[in-house]
Chain A
């Protein structure tokens, strides 16, 4: 366990070295936040003040929480493991006395922790000051929201880990990662809330783990879902994580059996 904590802490520090990149990320996320606020406000005012339970304040909260969680849940191309597979370094990773998947999971949580503080909170603050956001009154929303966020990062990690493992079967993993990102960004509720989707698209979205990555933690942290409804959402996240974790174990085991090491 200590090993994994050390790995998480090291990853936290690794990401803290790129200061200018952080400022750049915050600026870009804020600009996108202001564009998205305009979209939702226009739709809400066209609907006469509320739309699928969203008024302006809740919509603004949804947008800025989304911009804040984007970096922690890493909806960006991440190919570190795939690159290690292509270069052959993965053979060394398998030889280490720690588990590949668990080690990367720990590192990813460290990264997410740092990015939540550095890239997540500033745009949330900027949005709160300029447009205004509403945080839930209920105290239970915060611990549940935090648990939901950790689960969201873990689900996101497990999915990215799985897509990276495709590198064991094909050289061109970038194409698959690109396609994954496009589908994930639609269904996770990044552009507009999944609750605004037409019925058939909502059904399609909830048949995938993607809403658990972004829409669910936002629903909990914004107070859209409270009490038992919130607990049920966390339970469904947990179910997705267990299923995906199992799948990743299986794929990793198959991949390790396929591994052919040349030279050394």
Chain B
């Protein structure tokens, strides 16, 4: 029998994980409903602000909705693929990580494929739906640049949020009980990234642009798409450099991950 190629092996692996999640139908759909509700509830927050004021952080409701939709698409994609890295502390506590380390596959890939969370796509659906409703309302001029940004932003943004999850995973090796530290930039980043970046107070704006580039996932590209200028410290043209920010985020993730693995000492699990 011929040996499986690596790509084939991963395809089979991920396929089996996805099928296993679909095995319990009611439970799966309840989780999807929760994921949809998370997206809706967070949009209601923005909607409620616009029930009081017509302009928020320099954007109107439709423009804010575009930022929200793009950010949620990016984050939901990243969460589906990399969200599993949140569970590293339990692998460490239960001594299950050693088993993964001796297998002939990269650890990050094993953890990622150990559970591709289909239910998290509920939030993706909310993002896509809002995106489709709001896009025709914006009267955009579809230049080559706009189309490029609309196509590329979800993937670059997902890469940035994915890097946050991977950074968090690496840092968990040091923290274990202090795992909640990572929520500050993973979920704090997701929260900050779906808002008009101009509403963030200056230190937070700098933190979530130049250290953890959350505003680069959706806000800055949206400004370019809509032809709007950015606020202080966030000029719209930075949005063209989103891929550079993604590389930076992954560099951070790589450093955290490498330091974490090197520090790891098994307990003979």
Partners in one complex: yes
- CB distance A51 to B178 under 8 Å? no
Contact of A179 among B24, B34, B48, B188 (CB under 8 A): B34
Asked whether A23 is an interface residue with its Cβ less than 8 Å from the other chain, the reply is yes
Q: Which of B50-58, B77-85, B101-109, B144-152 contacts A (4 or more CB under 8 A)?
A: B50-58
Within 8 A of A (CB), among B50-68: 51-57
Chain B residues with CB under 8 A of A42: 56-57, 196, 198-199
A18 lies within 8 A of B177 (CB)? yes
| Any B CB within 8 A of the CB of A97 | no
B1 interface residue (CB < 8 Å to A): no
Q: What is the CA–CA distance of A39 and B180 in the complex, to the nearest angstrom?
A: 23
Interface size on B, residues (CB 8 A): 46
Report the number of A-B residue pairs with Cβ-Cβ less than 8 Å: 117
> Please, which residues of chain B bring their CB within 8 A of the CB of A32?
184, 188, 191
Residues of A within 8 A of B56 (CB): 42-43, 46
The A contact surface, by secondary structure, is helix
Among B52, B191, B205, the most chain A Cβ lie within 10 Å of the Cβ of B52
Cβ-defined contact, A24 with B175, below 8 A: yes
B37 contacts A179, C-beta separation under 8 Å = yes
**CB < 8 Å neighbour of A175 from B30, B44, B192:** B30
| Contact assessment for A201 and B204 in the assembled complex, using a CB-CB cutoff below 8 Å | no
Question: Known contacts A191-B45, A192-B49; is A34 also within 8 Å of B201 by CB?
Answer: yes
Q: Are A43 and B180 in contact (CB under 8 A)?
A: no
A196-B34 contact in complex given A172-B24, A172-B26, A186-B44, C-beta closer than 8 Å: no
Are B49 and A28 interface neighbours, CB within 8 A? no
Complex: how many Å from CA A186 to CA B46?
A: 12
- Residues of B within 8 Å of A46, CB to CB, are 53-57
Nearest A-chain residue to B119, judged by Cβ:
A175
B183 close to A (CB within 8 Å): yes
B248 → chain A closest CB, angstroms: 20
Chain A residue numbers with a CB within 8 Å of B198 are 42
Cβ-based interface call for A12 (8 A): no
Chain B proximity of A39: nearest CB distance (Å)? 6
Residue of B31, B34, B176, B181 near A28 (CB, 8 A) is B181
Q: Is the CB of A21 within 8 A of B30?
A: no
C-alpha spacing A37/B191, complex, angstroms: 13
Contact status A28-B52, CB under 8 Å: no
Complex Cα gap A244–B27 (Å): 26
Residues of the A chain whose Cβ atoms lie less than 8 Å from the Cβ of B55: 46
Given contacts A28-B181, A46-B56, A175-B27, whether A201 and B48 have CB atoms under 8 Å apart is: yes
Q: Which chain B residues in 3-52 approach chain A with CB under 8 Å?
A: 24, 26-27, 30-31, 33-34, 37-38, 41-42, 44-45, 47-49, 51-52
**Given A38-B204, A186-B41, A197-B48, 17 other A-B contacts at CB below 8 A?**
A20-B175, A20-B178, A21-B180, A24-B180, A32-B188, A38-B201, A39-B195, A39-B199, A42-B196, A42-B198, A46-B54, A51-B52, A52-B52, A186-B44, A186-B45, A196-B51, A198-B48
Which chain B residues have a beta carbon within 8 Å of chain A's beta carbons? Answer: 24, 26-27, 30-31, 33-34, 37-38, 41-42, 44-45, 47-49, 51-57, 175-181, 183-185, 187-188, 191-192, 195-196, 198-201, 203-205
30 residue pairs A–B, Cβ–Cβ below 8 Å:
A20-B175, A20-B176, A20-B177, A20-B178, A21-B177, A21-B178, A21-B180, A24-B178, A24-B181, A28-B184, A31-B184, A32-B184, A32-B191, A34-B201, A35-B191, A35-B195, A38-B205, A42-B196, A42-B199, A43-B49, A43-B199, A46-B54, A46-B57, A47-B53, A172-B27, A172-B30, A175-B27, A182-B38, A186-B44, A186-B45
Rank and list the top 6 A-B pairs by shortest CB-CB distance, nearest first: A42-B199, A175-B30, A24-B180, A20-B178, A24-B178, A46-B53
